Structure 1
Amino acid sequence: MSTPYDIPEAPEVLDRREGPYGEVVLRRHGRLLQIIANGCFLMDTSDGRSERLLVDAALDALDPDAADPSVLIGGLGVGFSLAHAAGQARWGRITVVEREPAIIGWHRTGPLAELSCVALADPRTEIVEQDLITYVNETSDTFDALCLDIDNGPDWTVDEGNEGLYSPDGLAACARVLRPRGILAVWSAKPSPEFEGTLRNAGFQQVRTEEIPVARGVPDVVHIGVRPG
């Protein structure tokens, strides 16, 4: 993807941690900040369009009469989704589940704080340090929307343990934390017709895929489904 930044040849490692799920690295590449997990590129600060669409798609799909809807965001990442949600007055509560303590620390006191400090100071925001799969299986809380951005998509997970989240059982757990007519929105680096079928087979309705054009290659997408009322 082309960007307006001048990119030097070699990135600079700002921090490297051994976390509960392996190595997590924060790098600076020119003006970009990048997160790498176990050698796999996760995301950078070059373009937050798809993360914003993830939140917008969930909000737009909600009942317009829903008062103070709540959103659960799976994955803090570089903070685009959180910052965008906090910039929308309609959300009544914003909960972010992030399993890597290093990423949370980079947002609270590190280089990523400039992207998320306003959102973190918002009284509607709560950060939960926990694995999302564990959270959706154990929490007693429910939400109007669930936005998933913890992998590169259903077909390209960060680690094998995440694959179950996109299975029928995993999607049943996602539906469990959604209120009736709640929205599930899943970011992916490429379209996945097979995942659309899995969503329908798991009972989600009004399943659709919204594309985010990119400069080269296949578009990013957001898969959307509605929990039955």
Structure 2
Amino acid sequence: MSAMHVPEPPVVLDRREGPYGEVVLRRHGELLQIIANGTFLMDTSDGRSERLLVDAARDALAPGRDRDGARPSVLIGGLGVGFSLVHAVADPFWGSVAVVEREPAIIDWHRSGPLRDLTCEALADPRARIVEADLVPYVDETRDTFDALCLDIDNGPGWTVTDGNESLYSAAGLAACRRRLNPGGVLAVWSAQPSAIFEETLRNAGFTRVRTEEIPVVRGVPDVVHLAARGA
């Protein structure tokens, strides 16, 4: 009788205390995983949702859109394992790609650590830049504007990673997101489930063309992307 295969336990590659608690990078088989305060955030298994989030924002922009001859700009909320960044940089549609990430450890893992192989080429692209900041105050305080905002920092408006993120999905937080958009720009928010309440909050914050797109998953209910536009 052959011995039963026992999966190898995860191996911690780095563990740090960040400004928002403990952040861990570990390897589990072939996967790299990010854990925050004991909660699984993401891994390198797929990335389909992250890529479709960026594509949904692109497709929602007006065809052939440009400003003064410049290609559109996109702000991505959350670096994670880098799927959204890599996908956006690979698309010549985008003229600039900014990623806001609040955890210094995650940025370090991409610049010189175990995640470097995933994103080094994207980060070397002159269109790409990382902004080390908490997205919630960043969208309220910066004066930079973008053609698209792609937010993937939580499991959705009703399932936030930290309590402080809740304000981003309020009327005031969404109004700040709207100010960060150029006229005709698009906001795309990833979520593990649809929310009619969030759609109504988007409309109350002054957004138009509010809709929800489903993202099929292998098992269970589809993920979704909430889409909304700033009027021209």
Instruction: Give the structure-2-normalised TM-score.
Output: 0.93
CA–CA distance in 1 between the matches of 2:227 and 2:120? 29
CA–CA distance in 1 between the matches of 2:30 and 2:193? 26
Pair member with larger Rg: 2
* Corresponding letter in the other structure for 1:103: I
CA contact (8 A) 1:54 1:185 kept: yes
CA contact (8 A) 1:16 1:26 kept: yes
CA–CA distance in 2 between the matches of 1:9 and 1:192? 38
CA–CA distance in 1 between the matches of 2:83 and 2:147? 20
Mean Cα deviation higher: 216-225 or 172-181:
216-225
Residue 220 (structure 1) shift:
1.2
- Correspondence 1:95-134 to 2 at 5 A: 95-134=98-137
Instruction: Note the residue ranges of structure 1 that are not aligned, 5 or more in a row.
Output: 1-5
Residue 12 (structure 1) shift:
1.2
Residue 61 (structure 1) shift:
0.9
Q: Deviations over 1:35-75 (max 9, x none)?
A: 11111111111111110010000111112222200000000
CA–CA distance in 2 between the matches of 1:210 and 1:109? 36
Report what 1:139 is aligned to. 142
Q: Secondary structure at the match of 2:107?
A: helix
- Correspondence 1:1-229 to 2 at 5 A: 8-67=7-66, 68-229=71-232
Q: Deviations over 1:65-89 (max 9, x none)?
A: 2220000000000000000000000
CA–CA distance in 2 between the matches of 1:164 and 1:221? 20
Identical counterparts, % of pairs: 75
CA contact (8 A) 1:7 1:30 kept: no
Q: Deviations over 1:9-38 (max 9, x none)?
A: 521111111001111111111111111111
CA contact (8 A) 1:7 1:29 kept: no
Q: Given the superposition, is the C-alpha separation of residues 35 and 61 from structure 1 closer, same or farther in structure 2, using an over 3 Å criterion?
A: same
Q: Deviations over 1:177-203 (max 9, x none)?
A: 001111000011222222111111211
Q: Secondary structure at the match of 2:25?
A: strand
Mean Cα deviation higher: 37-46 or 101-110:
37-46
User: RMSD across aligned C-alpha pairs, in angstroms?
Assistant: 1.3
CA–CA distance in 2 between the matches of 1:132 and 1:83? 19
CA–CA distance in 1 between the matches of 2:225 and 2:118? 22
CA–CA distance in 1 between the matches of 2:25 and 2:113? 10
Mean Cα deviation higher: 208-217 or 83-92:
208-217
Instruction: Give the structure-1-normalised TM-score.
Output: 0.95
Q: Stretches of 4+ moved more than 4 A in 1? A: none
CA–CA distance in 2 between the matches of 1:80 and 1:73? 11
CA–CA distance in 1 between the matches of 2:74 and 2:141? 17
CA–CA distance in 2 between the matches of 1:160 and 1:40? 14
Q: How many residues align?
A: 224
CA–CA distance in 1 between the matches of 2:199 and 2:35? 28
CA–CA distance in 2 between the matches of 1:219 and 1:8? 28
Instruction: Note the residue ranges of structure 2 that are not aligned, 5 or more in a row.
Output: none
CA contact (8 A) 1:8 1:29 kept: no
Report what 1:3 is aligned to. none
Residue 8 (structure 1) shift:
2.6
Residue 7 (structure 1) shift:
9.3
